[in-house]
Structure 1
């Protein structure tokens, strides 16, 4: 139910007395409760620090590469599909104190919240880790798209917008330069309020697989509106962040080079080191890094991830 592990069972009929249908439904519910209560919780002997990662099909190559590296460094990565409920679950877990870090490479739910798409995680998305002081690496991943259902469900007010029909049940709409600018301002405000370390990863070759050169949503000017707003909103927040006071310097915008971002991608990517997602929060603020993004559209659709098809 929502972002919690709560199970509901539909009653089928109104509970106005017991009848031959409700007695079976209620009996099944009671049996399910008894079964769950009688089985002890599994014991997992794994003390690796937990890192939560947000993912969409169009950001899967980057998340896979980061997950592989974090696994090498001794972390366990929990992946959340950025479909509204996934973002809310990530926020809830970050707030719980169980996480050692957040790899938020897929902040697309912010676009749905701004424009009115169907996969919004609410206005509090991208706030829990910062409020809790959990270290986070953040990117404007898949901010180029707003999600809707079938093509005929897209509001008429968006009739002149660039649409991409992924399948009969999923239609994507490209965000405009104005919307991207507002998304950048919102992200900057949320990151500026972080109580723990925060690194912004800026994908210069497209914010999703649909936004790379030659892809349907490729729009460098719209992306720059977002990047400029992020730069402006985070100006003055250096390595020491909010603690630096009036004399703090503008963050350096520099590329970070390392291993390829994906096995089939030989462009430059960024290699994360363990101190960027420490197991215990440190006092620091946001800093900005601009770097190449994994290129490609490798997945077949925006919601395709490892082990699953499009939603």
Structure 2
């Protein structure tokens, strides 16, 4: 039997939280309850009390109340809830989590879910699900959300539909999930679809033949968050961060993966092979008006959701400096592969987005700004050419031979 952590403010949402627990129990699951309220008390004791939560956050309920500020109080509870959830998971006492809340509860839920590793089922039932109130960097990589429709105050048939779905979903996920095995060393790679970047088609089977597992992350905001989350855990034997466009996005208002993009592998001591795939593009929401700053640029409408705008020469220099600054923080070897022939399929000579002057500006700035801890591998080739993948494997094999990359999990 799987056990689900059910968390929320039991002083104001007691009825709803008990309903979720009943549904989980009715489907054959166990429940461990956690109260994250501050002022009131639940109708009956929870398995983890609000006092235990506050203490896990390095404070107390008395201090939270004495602060006189609901935001300060809930941040105390959020810190404690995250710590307790991770403690319970590591002790083998929970197999998944579901958190219920409005804006206050959702704020806490994001921290709680982010504390749990990728692969642990985590569900948030919220009145603000999918809202732009939540910045990308706060969204756990594999969180699931459902709108708590019609449920702001008390149970009814509308909100029961949402609550029961979420309860069944988290239990079903806990029963069905196949956790990462980690029986082979894992390579984390970033990319986009094969229409724009194609190196993974060659590299993935080649690396698997060498005994490694390869996970390719779609670097469109949330993919980058998942990549960074696993890097921060030290999950990778090495990373091939060949699509750092989310750094450009963060600089110029596109689909950001957060300020810490391209930093966690370096901080965790993970060897990095880096290339500037699609560095020259900023991804913006395709169904919204084009921002004023990009209205005089070439753009590529990838689909109705996503449009890419081309950066000018000076902006590309800024990207080169930003990448260099991030790599300078690395505590493990870094290899920067610079394909002087272009960094996305649309940037080939004759391509719709080709800009020889902009590419030259980026290459020149990288060669100047790249920190001393990074090896530069400049190639007279395009990133989608076989020569690029061949050089990647050459560097990779050398690092394995020298023990820079561990060949066994």
Which range, TM-score by smaller chain?
0.7 to 0.9
Identify which of 233, 251, 256 aligns with 1:96: 233
CA distance in 2, matches of 1:121, 1:184: 18
Q: Mark the runs of 5 or more structure 1 residues left unpaired by the alignment.
A: 243-250, 284-311
Residue correspondence of structure 1 range 32-47 to structure 2 within 5 A: 32-37=169-174, 39=175, 42=178, 47=183
Distance 1:26 1:67, change over 3 A: same
CA distance in 2, matches of 1:266, 1:126: 25
Identify which of 181, 188, 196 aligns with 2:317: 181
Q: 3-state DSSP class of the match of 1:53?
A: strand
Cα deviation, residue 133, structure 1 = 0.8
Identify which of 66, 73, 79 aligns with 2:203: 66
* Residues 117-164 of structure 1 deviation map (CA, whole Å, 9 limit, x = unaligned): 2x1112211100111110111011101211122375211232222222
CA distance in 2, matches of 1:231, 1:187: 12
* C-alpha contact (below 8 Å) 2:230/2:236 kept by paired residues: yes
Cα deviation, residue 99, structure 1 = 0.9
Distance 1:86 1:279, change over 3 A: farther
* C-alpha contact (below 8 Å) 1:150/1:171 kept by paired residues: yes
Aligned to 1:110: 247
- In proportion to residue count, which structure has more helix? 2
Is 1:29 aligned with 2:166?
yes
Q: How many positions carry a matched residue from both structures?
A: 265
**What is the RMSD of the two structures over their aligned residues, measured on CA atoms?**
3.0
Distance 1:214 1:255, change over 3 A: closer
Is 1:145 aligned with 2:281?
yes
Distance 1:116 1:168, change over 3 A: same
CA distance in 2, matches of 1:79, 1:268: 17
Q: Mark the runs of 5 or more structure 2 residues left unpaired by the alignment.
A: 1-123, 125-138
State the TM-score, normalizing by the size of structure 2: 0.58
Aligned to 2:294: 158
* Residues 169-193 of structure 1 deviation map (CA, whole Å, 9 limit, x = unaligned): 3322111100100100111111122
Aligned to 1:55: 191
Which structure exhibits the higher relative contact order, with contacts defined as CA atoms closer than 8 Å and separated by 6 or more residues? 1
Distance 1:29 1:137, change over 3 A: same
User: Over alpha carbons, which structure has the higher Rg?
Assistant: 2
**Higher mean displacement: 85-94 or 9-18:** 9-18
Is 1:14 aligned with 2:151?
yes
CA distance in 2, matches of 1:146, 1:108: 7
Cα deviation, residue 105, structure 1 = 0.5
* Residues 207-259 of structure 1 deviation map (CA, whole Å, 9 limit, x = unaligned): 10111111111112211222222111226x2xxx38xxxxxxxx6655499xx
Q: 3-state DSSP class of the match of 1:16?
A: coil
State the TM-score, normalizing by the size of structure 1: 0.75
Distance 1:275 1:112, change over 3 A: same
Q: 3-state DSSP class of the match of 2:338?
A: strand
CA distance in 2, matches of 1:17, 1:279: 63
* Residues 22-81 of structure 1 deviation map (CA, whole Å, 9 limit, x = unaligned): 2333233333344344x2753776611001110112553112222222112111100110
Cα deviation, residue 106, structure 1 = 0.4
Distance 1:276 1:145, change over 3 A: farther
Is 1:221 aligned with 2:357?
yes
Q: 3-state DSSP class of the match of 1:214?
A: coil
Distance 1:11 1:205, change over 3 A: same
